[in-house]
Structure formats: C-alpha cells, structure tokens
Structure 1
Amino acid sequence: MLKWSIIFALIALVAGVLGFTGVAAGAAGIAKILFVLFLVVAVVMLVLAVIGGKAIGDAMK
C-alpha cells in the first residue's frame, strides 16, 4: 500500500506540474487515503505482534 501511495503522489506531482489540476487533485486524494490505510494496517499489525509476543513469552514459562 505504501508503494501505491508513493506512486499516486508522484502522479499528482507530475500532473500538477503539467497543469492537469483535476487529475492532480484526484491522485493526491487517493494517495492520502492509501497512506492513512497503510498507517492503520501497520499499527494494527504492530499491536498484534506485541500481543502475540507476550502470549508466546507467557507460554514459555
């Protein structure tokens, strides 16, 4: 997801430089949504990893 977010951000930059403001705004909006979605998934995975690590550590005792 981060890869696609960066790709859409680059598309928005290029479209903005070339004067395609509608395309630039659309691509920037998509890039923002994908980046926020990436952050949410990353935080959820981090929390699950910490919880899973604690469960494994407790099982080793």
Structure 2
Amino acid sequence: MIRRSGTLLVALGIVGLLALDHAQSQPLNPYTAPPLLALGSGLAATGGHCAAPPPPAQ
C-alpha cells in the first residue's frame, strides 16, 4: 500500500508540474524557432554546453 500511494503521489506531482509549466509558458512560434536539423545550412551553432571550458580570467 505504501509503494502504491508513493507512486501515485510522485505521478501526481509530475503531472502538476507539467500542467503548471504549460499554463505559464508562452505558445511556441514555429516561424522563429531554429531548425530541427540544420546540417549544411550555414547557421552557426549557438547556446552553451556544460562541458565547455570556462572563459579565461582577465
């Protein structure tokens, strides 16, 4: 019984977070979104990466 109620509580929490995120977020504009696959398009890669080295200290 404990495992079932714990699983239900976690599932309800995840559903609640998804509902809150959906209610608070702006609708996506497909015309301003970056292409899903931009192989050979000439577009430069943007954004950060967690494995990138930190910038040099000045």
- TM-score band, normalised by the shorter chain? 0.3 to 0.5
TM-score with structure 1 setting the length: 0.42
Looking at both structures, which has the greater relative contact order when contacts are Cα pairs under 8 Å and sequence separation is at least 6?
1
Write 1 or 2 for the structure with the bigger share of helix: 1
TM-score with structure 2 setting the length: 0.44
